[in-house]
A and B are shown apart, each in its own frame.
Chain A
Amino acid sequence: MNIAIKEKPVELAICAHQLNLWYGTFQALFDVDLKIKKGIITSLIGPSGCGKSTFLRSVNRINERLGYVRIDGRVEVFDQNVYAPEVELVQLRKQVGMVFQRPDPLPTSIRENVLFGYKLHSKKSGNRTQQDEIVEQALQQVLLWDKVKDRLHHKATSLSLEEQQKLCIARLLPVKPRILLMDEPCSALDPKGTEAVEELIWELRGQYSILIVTHNMAQARRASEECIFMLMGRVVEHTPTNQMFVTPAQQETADYIEGRYG
């Protein structure tokens, strides 16, 4: 098993083949082909309604909850088709974690929030010491431990929005996801909070493959290594971030990043 992996290293975290998606009769994605690399931060930019969030949500399949979504094509996560019939959504969502625009901590304590996913996905919830370790480790990783270690039993909603968002990232980590999807994770935060969460996302790269949707051009530029520009449900350009912002290949991309529309 190990040898096989060494011989053929997994390079791609997410791979979309000819992905088409409809909400009812409205087609939101057209022939999307994407190869998103493992272990880096990739940002998805484009004007509102261009399909970037739709693509993000089709990776862990939470689009389907709407009920009127139809999909054609494939999305592979680490070479496994997530639309294969044997896929268990619980497993998929465990390994492909998601962070939303508005922090959505659960109405319990900070500690319970961090442990929530872990308790869902493990047979035994472990003893107190193990749980303490998990909580500390996850909060350390999101740079929140020093701030909250003395008030782990306070309500998660008593934290600032920035801290709540970090907590929402922290609670994904104990189940060891391989991919983190982030849907405009900073847009509810003030500039200082945005900076802090961006720093955190930057810290997490390498360990996780991160795909982040953003409206904030400066954020895409600062906090991602590769950048995808989408327009009207199609991928226009996918290049290293520096390149996109310095020498965009397509006219539409240039227009968008210069702020001519969007």
Chain B
Amino acid sequence: MDNHMFAATELNRKNQRTEKLVRMLFILMASLLILPVLIILGTLIYKGGSIISIDFLFTDPTNGMTEGGIFPALLGTIWLVAVALVISVPLGIAAAIYLSEYAPDNWFTRLINLAIINLAGVPSIVHALFGVGAFVVFFGFGTSILAASLTLAIMTLPVVIVSTRESLQAVPHSFREACWNMGATRWQTIRRVVLPNAISGILTGIILEVSRTAGETAPIMFTGAVFFSPFLPQGIMDQTMALSLHLFVVSTQVPGVPENLPYGVALVLIGMVLIMNSVSIAFRMRLRGKKKW
């Protein structure tokens, strides 16, 4: 056995041992990622699960926000996210289509790309102050859903643009050439071939954007969200409560809140995000199954 031509040498064995060790190390590192998720979810469910009920979701807070439900905040978050989407999605998709399909490689395109990268890097509190200056004061929208959603939209625009552009770029170039060679214009090519094949990626990006927007606190707290409002918002010029800000308020600003209330609010917020993400993943898998190349 030992004198087999292909038997392992001492060096081979040593390399094999190192290989095993390194592999274990990487597995361990990667698995560590699961921990925080489990701990967060576990804590929230353990401490806040008891308060979750239909009533909690659909009634107003009472008694100085120490009792009752979270309906106005839940509704407010939906308002904010929806209006932000209406603004950022068309703008973002149009910009991405230009950058992916039309833009020549020149200083102007590079300037736009630079702007996107910088916009993505601006801290959310700076966005908040920009929102106050631009939308609340300068355009005179006041603190309103409109001002808050515009701020959120600008903040999430880079995400929409980048994810849409990547989805468009993932459509093989040969399809475009095939269309052009048949005499199709750029727009005909985009509408008939590129967009239908990129739509799953674009939608995934948008859903991820929704989940991010829902959790933002800083950009809305000066621009449209309020600590407490006895009224539900009737339109985009109204102020509103929001889940993320409500969580901040009941955790730190109001005395005498039962322990399970903030945890319950956090659980609802994270639940919303997780549901959106699962929808996005399910969507992607469904459409990927239908991919035609």
List residues of A whose CB falls within 8 A of some B CB.
60, 62, 65, 89-94, 97-98, 100, 102, 104-108, 116-117, 119-121, 155, 157, 171-172, 175
Given A116-B192, A155-B292, A157-B292, answer yes or no on A106-B179 (Cβ-Cβ < 8 Å).
yes
Our count of residue pairs bridging A and B at CB distance below 8 angstroms stands at: 55
Residue of B nearest to A116 (CB): B182
Identify 16 new A-B residue pairs, CB closer than 8 A, beyond the known A60-B181, A116-B192.
A62-B180, A90-B185, A92-B183, A93-B183, A94-B183, A106-B178, A106-B179, A107-B175, A107-B193, A107-B197, A107-B293, A117-B182, A117-B183, A119-B192, A175-B182, A175-B183
What A residues does B179 contact at CB under 8 A?
106, 116
Scoring B179, B193, B197, B292 by chain A CB atoms within 10 A of each residue's CB, the highest score goes to B292
Distance in angstroms between the alpha carbons of A104 and B182 in the assembled complex: 11
Contact A108 B178 (CB under 8 A): no
Interface residue from B183, B185, B193 paired with A106 (Cβ < 8 Å): B193
State the majority secondary structure of interface residues on B. helix
What B residues does A93 contact at CB under 8 A?
180-183
Q: Does B229 contact A (CB under 8 A)?
A: no
> How many of chain B's residues touch chain A, expressed as a range?
10 to 19
**Can you spell out 23 A-B residue pairs with CB atoms less than 8 angstroms apart?**
A65-B180, A90-B184, A90-B185, A93-B180, A94-B182, A97-B182, A102-B174, A104-B174, A104-B175, A104-B177, A104-B178, A106-B175, A106-B178, A106-B193, A107-B193, A107-B292, A108-B193, A108-B292, A117-B183, A120-B183, A120-B184, A157-B293, A175-B183
Contact A121 B292 (CB under 8 A): no
What B residues does A157 contact at CB under 8 A?
292-293
Given A116-B192, A157-B292, A157-B293, answer yes or no on A62-B183 (Cβ-Cβ < 8 Å).
no
Distance in angstroms between the alpha carbons of A198 and B289 in the assembled complex: 35
A112 to chain B, nearest CB (A): 9
What A residues does B292 contact at CB under 8 A?
107-108, 155, 157
Residue of A nearest to B291 (CB): A107
Residue of B nearest to A95 (CB): B183
A173 to chain B, nearest CB (A): 11
Contact A120 B188 (CB under 8 A): yes
What B residues does A116 contact at CB under 8 A?
179, 182, 192
What B residues does A89 contact at CB under 8 A?
183
Scoring B178, B180, B188, B193 by chain A CB atoms within 10 A of each residue's CB, the highest score goes to B178
What B residues does A91 contact at CB under 8 A?
183
What A residues does B291 contact at CB under 8 A?
107
Interface hits, B171-209 → A, CB 8 Å = 174-175, 177-185, 188, 192-193, 197
Distance in angstroms between the alpha carbons of A89 and B185 in the assembled complex: 10
Distance in angstroms between the alpha carbons of A121 and B182 in the assembled complex: 9
What B residues does A102 contact at CB under 8 A?
174
